Amino acid sequence: MVLDQPVQLVPYDPSWPERAAREIALVEGAIGAWLAGTVEHVGSTAVPGLEAKPTIDLMAPVRDLDEARECFEPLAGIGYANAPHRPYFHWFCKPSPAVRTHHLVLIEPTHPEWRARLAFRNRLRSDPEAAARYAELKRELAARFPDDREAYTAGKAGFVAEVSR
């Protein structure tokens, strides 16, 4: 079992988009040959004004998930550690699963999760009421599950599904 960082929300940091853009350029430079489009900044750090865990979440569309295993070595070269999580994507943490400044998901853009994550991000960006409700839910879950990221994430699932529709 990996000892994990506590769930700690911080106020929105206006440097997050620029940090994400720099990381996207780094990722695209390392694995561009396997990409089927542009790497996207997703998650709460991609929503202006939203408090978040200070981890930049990126999602990269790959042509083929099996072929994308060839990306593991180039991604390790730029500091990403593979942390198997779900069968329909490859998940990476930087610098490690225990200490995370960045998350990276490699996923085929035809998978429904690709569209759902973008829809959720876009809805929160365009709907201040939904973003405020999400922020309140996150605060409640962080207070209830400060040492259990899995429970924190699971507690958001229903809201994420509702808003992504």
Mean pLDDT of 151-158: 94
What is the share, in percent, of the chain residues with pLDDT greater than 90? Answer: 85
DSSP secondary structure, 80-137, as one string: -EE---BTTBEEEEEE-SSSEEEEEEEE-TTSHHHHHHHHHHHHHHH-HHHHHHHHHH
Please state, rounded to an integer, the average pLDDT across all residues of the chain.
94
Mean pLDDT of 151-157: 94
pLDDT 10s digits, 89-120: 999 999 998 889 999 999 999 999 999 999 99
Give residue 158's Cα distance to chain centre.
17
CB neighbourhood size of 58 (10 A):
24
DSSP type of residue 162: H
CATH 1.20.1260.10 fits 16-164, yes or no: no
Asked whether residue 157 carries a pLDDT value surpassing 60, the answer given is: yes
Could you tell me which residues are beta bridge partners of residue 41? 58
Sign of the torsion angle spanned by Cα atoms 117, 16, 146, 105:
positive
- Token pair recorded at residue 93: 């943490």
Tell me the whole-structure pTM to 2 decimals.
0.92
Q: What is the pLDDT of residue 164?
A: 83
Asked whether residue 66 carries a pLDDT value surpassing 70, the answer given is: yes
Quick one: how many helices (H) and strands (E) in the chain?
A: 5, 5
The helix or strand, by DSSP H or E, that contains position 29, with its residue range, turns out to be: helix 16-31
Q: What is the pLDDT of residue 2?
A: 47
